[in-house]
Chain A
Amino acid sequence: MQPASETLAARRPGRLTRIAEPARRNFADRAWAALLTILGVTVFVVALFIVYALCKLSAGVLRHTGLAAFVLNSQWDVVRDVYGALPFIYGTLVTSVVALFIALPVSVGLALFLTEMSPPGVRSLISFPISLLAGIPSVVYGLWGLFVLVPVLRTKVEPFLAATLGFLPLFRGTPVGLGYLAAGMILAIMILPTITSISIEVLRTVPMSLREAALALGATRWEAIRMAVLPFARAGILGATILGLGRALGETMAVTMVIGNSPTISASLFAPGYSLPAVIANEFAEASGALQTGALAALGLILFAVTLLLNIAARLLVRISTRGPVRGAA
């Protein structure tokens, strides 16, 4: 059990930063501070350079097509130099949403089970294979998806979904196997370790006193989790979700192998689609001519923008929801 003041200090790191002040005179300290500043700025500079290089490469095609037309056009025809990014943006978003839809409940449930319910022996037994999942190269996920998951989806899962949930346009059409659903499911497995392990760390920071207080008030275990633990951990779990989403948006190899690589937009999750990273990986090596290279760079820029926008949105969400637990706890 931690004293309340310590938890408070840990949650508000801003209060502690000034401690460094008196040591400023020391040369080693100053050198250290300078080094850290350089390292910190480097990341920013590298990101800027990437954006600059992408802008420079894609300037030609964006002038040729126009930014709005490039984003909104759904035709991608290299032979005739017609470039539209919409199917790729759509595919990236749909597969990521499917992945989150599957991975989030499983990950949070798993994290809750491991921190709140399971006996300590079981915890290490289960968390070890989860961390192992994070270390598998994505091409292995892709191959496994192509040879194991896709046939199961085509022969079992998709016909079942069509029979039970076929009234939704999401689950209509011929079961192909390769498509949004396959890509989303592979991504779900890939982001599961990220979300789970961070959620576990977050749940561990929930003060024991909160749980005990809830239990002392007569709450059941489920009520204690719902009313005391989850509201406290909400921001952290959201952060974990953002990291998972980031991986899902940028994943290339595994998605390329199972999404079907067809630049079309379909409402059905069974249909083959395409994603931004996949088309870049597929076409960049053999791209001929400035326009195609530029168009692929522009797709990279769009992926950058999509990731940035989603991150900003998620940060706002965190900011809004961190006000939550105070209200909830009170």
Chain B
Amino acid sequence: MTKTRVALLSSLALASAAFAADKMLITGAGATFPYPLYSKWFSDYNKLHPEVQINYQSIGSGGGIKQITEKTVDFGASDAPMTDEEMAKAPGIQHIPTVLGAVVVVYNVPGLEGLKLTPETISGIFLGKVSKWNDPAIARDNPGLKLPTANITVVHRSDGSGTTYVWTDYLSKVSPDWKAGPGTGKSVNWPVGLGGKGNEGVTGTVKQTEGAIGYVELAYANQNKLTPAIIKNRDGAWVKPTLESVSEAASKVEMPDDYRVSITNAAGKDAYPISSFTYILVYKDQPDPAKGQALLKFLWWAVHDGEKTAATLDYAPLPKSVVHKVEGTLKKMTVQGKAVLATSK
């Protein structure tokens, strides 16, 4: 009896102490892809500013957009930019790009390394038109490699995901047949193949199935030491997916003010063509004075100091040109009508 009472009292005391310490809790929700990096950012930032605590739930981009639209969180996060329809429901929303991700092609053909694929071949494979590993379309670009006669098994994501969005966005750009067929989306009507749930589901299925080909996140492929295919980019150069080649894809793009831009099939000799931004979604005018100020300061920190830790977790940092533009956007953002970061450097 006494024990419970003591426990109850002490937990009450703890709870009130937490409130008394003037801690501020900022909440966010959204994309799962940047979650490992974001949670590192939040804990790093918390060490620098102990009064600011940021809580992020990685429930998926769709959920993040829903929650920021309903204003149940202070910021959202999404891999794919919001659609016009979604933007209309959340007036005053601003996309802030944080880092870059990329989608890589992985395959399972024993003894085959350094496979080179053109956009036409990739779309052919995923449309089911190229169905054998020794198809002339593949053989043409891989003269030194010994290609088996085996069938190609296509593996795609079965769950709705930003990775699929980037992948199908790329295929739609490079192949008119893909655009007219499955199209671009977080889940599409796949002409062929098996569906695996999540990056791990696709990787598992590819590893289990000889002759399989699939696509996964670059960070996931790097951490699991998967060998990616080399892709021919828009300038005709063969490019390996690396953090540098991904950042490169974002450097030459003409950036609109709302940052809603696709950088798949980007121009540039060293640009990896299947790259994309991931975004934090915030309102241009923050309603809560204390939280809004803290959130803007955090974003400022993220695109400057935060970017430096991105590469250690296999995320490609924003190129300088984009950081510069984000600075301008953050300076224009307000808390209850007042600019906060106007003098920041």
A interface residues, Cβ below 8 angstroms from B: 75-80, 82, 146-147, 150-151, 154, 174, 176-178, 256-257, 260-263, 272, 274, 278, 281-289
Q: How far is the CB of A59 from chain B (nearest CB, A)?
A: 19
| Interface of chain A, main secondary structure | loop
Residues of chain B with a CB closer than 8 A to A260's CB: 194-195
The number of residues on chain B lying at the interface, defined by a beta carbon within 8 Å of a beta carbon of chain A, is 35
Residues of chain A with a CB closer than 8 A to B204's CB: 146-147
Residues of chain B with a CB closer than 8 A to A263's CB: 189
Contact of A178 with B205 in the complex, beta carbons under 8 Å: yes
Residue from A76, A79, A262, A278 in contact with B194 in the complex, judged by beta carbons closer than 8 Å = A262
Contact of B196 with A261 in the complex, beta carbons under 8 Å: yes
Contact of B197 with A257 in the complex, beta carbons under 8 Å: yes
Interface check B241, CB cutoff 8 A? no
Residues of chain B with a CB closer than 8 A to A76's CB: 189
Q: List 5 A-B contacts (CB under 8 A).
A: A146-B208, A178-B205, A285-B59, A286-B161, A288-B83
- Residue of A147, A154, A263, A283 most packed against chain B (CB within 10 A): A283
Interface check B119, CB cutoff 8 A? no
Interface check B257, CB cutoff 8 A? no
B interface residues, Cβ below 8 angstroms from A: 59-63, 65, 83, 85-86, 151, 153, 158-162, 182-190, 193-197, 201, 204-205, 208-209
Contact of B83 with A147 in the complex, beta carbons under 8 Å: no
Complexed CA–CA distance, A150 and B196 (Å): 13
A78 and B208 contact, Cβ closer than 8 Å, known pairs A282-B195, A285-B62, A288-B86:
no
In the complex, besides A77-B189, A146-B205, A178-B194, 8 extra interface pairs with C-beta distance below 8 angstroms are A77-B188, A147-B204, A147-B208, A177-B209, A256-B197, A272-B194, A278-B158, A286-B62
Residues of chain A with a CB closer than 8 A to B194's CB: 176, 178, 260-262, 272
Contact of A262 with B190 in the complex, beta carbons under 8 Å: yes
A288 and B208 contact, Cβ closer than 8 Å, known pairs A176-B153, A261-B195, A282-B159:
no
Residue from A78, A256, A262 in contact with B185 in the complex, judged by beta carbons closer than 8 Å = A78
Q: Which residue of A lies closest to B184 (CB)?
A: A79
Residues of chain A with a CB closer than 8 A to B151's CB: 174
Residue from B65, B158, B185 in contact with A261 in the complex, judged by beta carbons closer than 8 Å = B158
A288 and B196 contact, Cβ closer than 8 Å, known pairs A78-B189, A79-B185, A176-B153:
no
Contact of A282 with B197 in the complex, beta carbons under 8 Å: yes
A286 and B208 contact, Cβ closer than 8 Å, known pairs A176-B153, A261-B158, A262-B193:
no
Residue from A174, A282, A284 in contact with B158 in the complex, judged by beta carbons closer than 8 Å = A282
Q: Which residue of B lies closest to A288 (CB)?
A: B62
Contact of A288 with B186 in the complex, beta carbons under 8 Å: yes
Contact of A285 with B63 in the complex, beta carbons under 8 Å: yes
Q: Which residue of B lies closest to A77 (CB)?
A: B189
Complexed CA–CA distance, A150 and B212 (Å): 14
| Across the A-B interface, the 8 shortest Cβ-Cβ residue pairs | A261-B195, A286-B160, A261-B158, A77-B189, A285-B60, A79-B183, A286-B62, A282-B159
